[in-house]
Amino acid sequence: KSSMINDEDLAVELNLHLQSIGKFIKAGNLIQYLAEPDVQQRFGLKKTISLATVKCWVHVLNYWWEHNHHGQYVDGHEHLDVINYQQNVFSPQWKELEGWMWHWSW
């Protein structure tokens, strides 16, 4: 049986929802979101997911458990692939485009 988190539309929507919450999120945020009737109808859900499922799904979405934040998840900005992208793709492209950007002096 395939996991629903492999549905790209669901994964994108969950990521957008989590990003809208901010840096610190709780597992309950996903449980509550997936309990909303419009979300359940859109994805054919009959009930919300369990806490155990949330813990699995957040790893698939590149979030991880942070114990020092009292049960909250944080995004994966320190993962090696993210660091590599920032240093070798994003920053060089930004430098190329910087000449076209507006600059203000205060």
The model's pLDDT over 4-57, given as tens digits with 9 standing for 90+, comes to 888 899 999 999 998 898 877 888 888 999 999 999 999 998 888 898 998 888
State residue 32's pLDDT score: 92
Residue pair 51/32 in contact by the 8 Å Cβ criterion: no
Q: Please, which pLDDT band fits residue 71 given cuts at 50, 70 and 90? A: low
Q: Please, which pLDDT band fits residue 1 given cuts at 50, 70 and 90? A: low
Is the pTM here over 0.95, yes or no? no
Tell me the three state secondary structure of residue 91: helix
